[in-house]
Structure 1
Amino acid sequence: MSRTSRSAPVVALAAVLAGFVLTGCSDTKTGAAAVVNGDRVEISTLNSLVEQAADARQSVGAEPVPGVEASQEELTSVLTDKVLDEAARRAGIVVTATEIADAKRDWAGTNPGATIETLLARQGVPASQVDHFVRRSVLIDKIIIANGQDPRTEAGQQKVVEVFRSTAESMDITVNPRYGQWNPADGLVPTTYGWLTPNRIA
């Protein structure tokens, strides 16, 4: 893996998420935080992810993410996964358990004295989701390589942004206006509700 952060497993995804954040309003069915190609992301599921992220941060003494921002962060992550998975499906790309194990071993070899679990917990990734996080990183690298670029280069980073945007534009994604609005050109741009907490979004 080339980078470890909550919303950007690699530099390329940092660029993707910089342009894909929550905005204004969309129609979703009651009880759904978002709907992606007909599949619902339930508010209850999102709230569970928020709680897990908060527990992970607390376990290592990291600062909590305040208010509704935590829900928006987790929803952005969920939507990012769905778009990346669709891009990979179209390209026939899969990530194996062996590749995940190899990536974790490579990370450990270049970060002596640290554990990926502790580092990711500071970013709100619970231990149960570490392999999922690593899979996302490997998947991004493979998408870049499949498009003839090197994941370590700026061109490679730009390529995954292009693939992400084009895939997102072709998908049917709507977001509950409590969290923001999905626009294929901009992604998920947050609605600001500073007084709300995740438990009050239901």
Structure 2
Amino acid sequence: MHRRRSVVTVSSAAAVLLAAPLLTGCGGDTYPGSAAVVDGDAISLTQLQDRVVATRDAQREAQNGEQLISQTGRLPRTTLDGMIRHRIVERALADADASVSRREVQEQRDAYEQQTGGPKAFEDALLEQQGVAPSAAEDWVWLNVAVQKVADAWGVDPKTPKGNKTLNTRFAELSGEMDIVVNPRYGTWDTERSTLAPADTPWLKDVGAQQEIQQQG
């Protein structure tokens, strides 16, 4: 999923993130420099900033970088959405008494790379389709493996419309049980849709399948 060259020279992400106000959590506790706090675990502005800057840098190096940047104007918000989801899935895994091994992540990544045409093609597709930088590819693969494991534990097939709806409902219910506080700059966590980003985002994402569709189109 990524890479090539572009003349774009913007990086206001850092300034925007650093200008965000301090986050106040429940019970009067304050979390200085946080983008969100999930069950007491803070996602710092620095962590979010690093993800956003890495993605912007990768997009600027891409051949169609200008287009990629224009298509991801809400990148800080969608990136934070993904980071919060990561913690929700971690909780779901723990509740299901399941785990994801490094070997499983590597095997899934190998599968994605075969589907997309190699390591670079996979990273290019991930950047273009999901707005994920190469440095965050491992986390993205982990999330997909983990979601599938949780779905298996719940007896849900996320690849069917009914199963996907059930999966979304179950994750929404779980996120409603968790204490998720978001810095107002990025919005609020919507427990009904289990998302922070404006658009609905699938819990299980198949970059390989999307790449095949693009290649055929």
Higher helix share: 2
Q: Is the 8 A contact 1:95 1:139 kept in 2?
A: yes
TM-score (norm 2): 0.67
Q: Tell me which of 110, 115, 130 is aligned to 2:137.
A: 130
SS in 2 for 1:35: strand
Partner of 2:51: 49
Query: Which amino acid is 2:187 matched to?
Result: G
Percent identity, aligned pairs only, is 27
Q: Tell me which of 32, 35, 40 is aligned to 1:33.
A: 35
Query: Which amino acid is 1:115 matched to?
Result: A
Q: Tell me which of 118, 125, 129 is aligned to 1:119.
A: 125
Q: Is the 8 A contact 1:84 1:140 kept in 2?
A: yes
* Residue correspondence of structure 1 range 1-202 to structure 2 within 5 A: 27-28=24-25, 29=30, 30-61=32-63, 62=65, 63-65=68-70, 69-112=74-117, 115-122=121-128, 123-186=130-193, 187-188=195-196
Whole-Å separation in 2 of the counterparts to 1:142 and 1:156: 14
Higher Rg of the two aligned structures:
2
Between 1 and 2, higher relative CO (CA 8 Å, sep ≥ 6) is seen in: 1
TM-score (norm 1): 0.72
Question: 1:68/1:149 Cα in 2 relative to 1: closer, same or farther (>3 Å)?
Answer: closer
Q: Is the 8 A contact 1:59 1:121 kept in 2?
A: no
Partner of 2:17: none
Q: Is the 8 A contact 1:81 1:136 kept in 2?
A: yes
Question: 1:183/1:151 Cα in 2 relative to 1: closer, same or farther (>3 Å)?
Answer: closer
**Structure 2 residue ranges without an equivalent (≥5):** 2-22, 199-217
Note the C-alpha offset of 1:72: 0.7
- How many residues align? The count is 166
* 1:139-187 per-position Cα deviation (integer Å, ceiling 9, x unaligned): 1111111112333222321232122111101100111111111232244
